[in-house]
Amino acid sequence: MQITKSRFVISKTLIGQSAIITFTNKKNETYTYDHDAVYSANQERFETMECFQKYGSYTNSSNLPTFAREYQVK
C-alpha cells in the first residue's frame, strides 16, 4: 500500500498493512520509508512513548528520524 503524507508517521492503525509511506517536509525534501520495518525495529521505543500510547501514533513533520533512515525505500 502506497501512502503520501505531509509528515513522518508511525501509526498503530497502519501496523501490518505493508505501507510504504512518502512524505515531503517543509524544506521540500522527500522521503519514502517502510512503515512496518521502522515499527518492528523500534517497537519498544514506540510502545513507551506517551504520544503513541495516548494517540496511537508518532509523527515528525521536519525530518526523517535517525532511527528510521536505514528503512528508506529508493
* pLDDT confidence of residue 22: 97
pLDDT digits (tens, 9 = 90+) for 38-59: 999 999 999 999 999 999 999 9
* pLDDT confidence of residue 54: 96
Model-level pTM greater than 0.85?
yes
DSSP the chain: -EEEESSEEEEGGGTTS--EEEEE-TTS-EEEEEHHHHHHHTHHHHHT-HHHHHHSEEEESS---GGGGGGB--
pLDDT digits (tens, 9 = 90+) for 24-36: 998 999 999 999 9
* pLDDT confidence of residue 74: 82
